[in-house]
């Protein structure tokens, strides 16, 4: 039955709570089927469809009459004065009720049932059903006798409010995986996951799923991997899911306005900086490269511009001098997941959700890393070089040239020393090498030689006789 059929008919409020007397009374049989009965049937169907239920009994809208309506996906069934005439077998399954919206329970009912009743014209009809239809018929007829499913349930559980939020999650790398995990563990209703297509990886160029896809598969959440986010078919698929909110964490694609406009609460993004600082793709690396002592996470409503949306929640994270791109990434991913959960809970609590407009005049940018960002310029001051090395540790690694070959350097420290920038001014066999810079010098304690593995400099020095005065 289409919704249009009930246009002009109002959905009625549903009575809730196991203590409500109207839900606990035995309803009276209908003596005469007339226009007001038919009007009530229309109102009941409209109410059931509007609430997304599969069945409704008249007492649930406050009327103690023996009328039920059902639709388990096979069309509308209307029954006046229904009576079970046959019941066979047993089946236990989870059951809920529009009058007990926070509960579900395991109820054993007849597997197959036959019910006799009257239709809206007053003709006697029989309905026979099994599975969900059988269950729904018995559940609704129970309502007419003041019986709720919790009276018969073996086990009653509370539905967490989080699971009622319809969430579509979009993300790709490990940073996003942590957020998806938090949503599932906090029982948010993640209906679908959208992630980048599988990519060839490693020497064998094996097609490899994203970390987010692997996690979604382990939770058996449906995964979408569109090549383009503008694909009209993909946009329709998202629209059809009717999400309350779309969560976007490092998805890796720009979303078109058509998608931003779908969820009623909007598209929420988790960004790895204190906006409007470090808008863009590489906020974590750039914060360390710049020697920042504090960075953080911002959640925001996505807008069409890059990271320009109104901010919701923010959390500061100190950057320690020992932090690397890797360690800060992991900290921010964890805090990002927590802040995302806090943000989504604001929507559940019906509280005013903050919307702080970004001051564009304070915006700074964190563009994606380029190969040039990796090359160490020894003419810079030692502090900048050390920050660059730790920002790019473990990935992609700061590079230099040794004896004509590209190497990567890690674990740098500012030390005293004078020399031509790039010159090895000391070799400490058990510790590392000291290289002069534009100011002072840098002690380098780890290296990844071309085609080699990352190793302590002391191990490298065992096989390589580096000399004072050599240039990097």
Is there a catalytic annotation at residue 139?
yes
Q: How far is the CB of 129 from Zn ion (least distance, A)?
A: 16
Q: How far is the CB of 43 from Zn ion (least distance, A)?
A: 17
Which residue lies nearer to Zn ion by CB, 97 or 411?
97
Instruction: Give the sign of the dihedral formed by CA 382, CA 385, CA 387, CA 390.
Output: negative
Which residue lies nearer to Zn ion by CB, 97 or 386?
97
Q: How far is the CB of 126 from Zn ion (least distance, A)?
A: 22
Which residue lies nearer to Zn ion by CB, 97 or 366?
97
Instruction: Give the sign of the dihedral formed by CA 232, CA 233, CA 238, CA 242.
Output: positive
In the complex, residue closest to Zn ion by CB? 97
56: left (phi over 0), alpha (psi -120 to 50) or beta: beta
Cα separation, 445 vs 377, whole angstroms: 18
Who's near 152: CB < 8 A, 6+ residues apart? 107, 108, 109, 142
Report angle CA 98, 99, 102 to the nearest 5 degrees: 80
Which residue lies nearer to Zn ion by CB, 68 or 414?
68
274: which 2 tokens? 């204190």
**Cis-peptide, bond into residue 276, ω within 30° of zero:** yes
Q: How far is the CB of 99 from Zn ion (least distance, A)?
A: 5
Q: How far is the CB of 143 from Zn ion (least distance, A)?
A: 6
Is there a catalytic annotation at residue 379?
no
Cα separation, 59 vs 51, whole angstroms: 16
Catalytic residue among 53, 55, 272, 422: 55
Is there a catalytic annotation at residue 267?
no
Is there a catalytic annotation at residue 285?
no
Catalytic residue among 97, 137, 267, 332: 97
Catalytic residue among 53, 139, 332, 409: 139
243: which 2 tokens? 């999400």
Which residue lies nearer to Zn ion by CB, 97 or 229?
97
Q: Which among 202, 203, 206, 238 has a CA at the least distance from the CA of 222?
A: 238
Question: By the criterion CB under 5 A, which residues form the site for Zn ion?
Answer: 97
Is there a catalytic annotation at residue 97?
yes
Q: For strands 441-448 and 432-436, give the pairing.
A: antiparallel
Contact 412, 386 (CB under 8 A): yes
Who's near 183: CB < 8 A, 6+ residues apart? 167, 169, 190, 247, 337, 340, 341, 344
Q: How far is the CB of 148 from Zn ion (least distance, A)?
A: 7
Q: Which among 73, 80, 81, 98 has a CA at the least distance from the CA of 11?
A: 98
Who's near 377: CB < 8 A, 6+ residues apart? 385
CA end-to-end distance (rounded Å), the chain: 76
Which residue lies nearer to Zn ion by CB, 150 or 406?
150
Q: How far is the CB of 162 from Zn ion (least distance, A)?
A: 23
Which residue lies nearer to Zn ion by CB, 97 or 317?
97
Q: Which residues are designated catalytic?
A: 55, 60, 97-98, 139-140, 143
């Amino acid at each position: 039955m289409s919704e249009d059929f009930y246009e002009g008919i109002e959905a009625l409020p549903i009575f809730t709570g196991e203590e409500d007397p109207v839900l606990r009374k035995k309803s009276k049989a209908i003596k005469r089927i007339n226009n007001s009965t038919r009007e009530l049937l229309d109102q009941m169907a409209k109410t059931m469809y509007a609430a997304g239920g599969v069945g409704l009994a008249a007492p649930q809208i406050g009327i103690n009459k023996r009328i039920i309506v059902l639709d388990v996906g096979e069309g509308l069934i209307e029954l006046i004065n229904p009576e079970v005439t046959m019941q066979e077998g047993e089946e236990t399954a989870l059951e809920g009720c529009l009058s007990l919206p926070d509960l579900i329970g395991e109820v054993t009912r007849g597997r197959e049932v036959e019910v006799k009743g009257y239709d809206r014209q007053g003709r006697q009809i029989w309905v026979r059903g099994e599975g969900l239809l059988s269950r729904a018929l018995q559940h609704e007829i129970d309502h007419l006798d003041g019986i709720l499913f919790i009276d018969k349930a073996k086990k009653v559980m509370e539905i967490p409010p989080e699971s009622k939020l319809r969430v579509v999650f979009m993300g790709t790398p490990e940073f996003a995986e942590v957020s998806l995990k938090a949503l599932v563990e906090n029982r948010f209703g993640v209906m679908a996951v959208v992630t980048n297509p599988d990519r060839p990886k490693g020497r064998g160029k094996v097609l490899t799923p994203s970390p987010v896809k692997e996690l979604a598969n382990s939770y058996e959440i449906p995964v979408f991997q569109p090549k383009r986010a503008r694909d009209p078919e993909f946009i329709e698929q998202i629209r059809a899911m009717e999400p309350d909110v779309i969560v976007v964490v490092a998805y890796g694609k720009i979303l078109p306005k058509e998608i931003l406009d779908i969820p009623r609460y909007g598209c929420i993004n988790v960004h790895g900086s204190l906006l409007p600082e470090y808008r863009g793709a590489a906020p974590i690396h750039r914060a360390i490269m710049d020697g920042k002592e504090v960075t953080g996470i911002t959640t925001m409503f996505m807008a069409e511009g890059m990271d320009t949306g109104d901010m919701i929640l923010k959390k500061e994270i100190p950057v320690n001098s020992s932090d690397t791109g890797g360690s800060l990434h992991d900290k921010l991913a964890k805090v990002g997941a927590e802040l995302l959960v806090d943000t989504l809970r604001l929507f559940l609590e019906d509280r005013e959700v903050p919307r702080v407009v970004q001051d564009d005049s304070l915006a700074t940018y964190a563009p994606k890393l380029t190969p040039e960002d990796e090359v160490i310029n020894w003419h810079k001051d030692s502090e900048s070089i050390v920050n660059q090395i730790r920002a790019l540790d473990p990935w992609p690694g700061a590079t230099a040239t040794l004896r004509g070959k590209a190497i990567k350097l890690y674990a740098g420290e500012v030390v005293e020393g004078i020399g031509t920038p790039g010159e090895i001014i000391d070799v400490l066999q058990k510790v590392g090498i000291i290289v002069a810079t534009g100011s002072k010098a840098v002690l380098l304690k780890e290296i990844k030689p071309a085609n080699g593995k990352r190793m302590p400099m002391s191990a490298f020095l065992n096989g390589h006789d580096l000399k004072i005065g050599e240039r990097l």
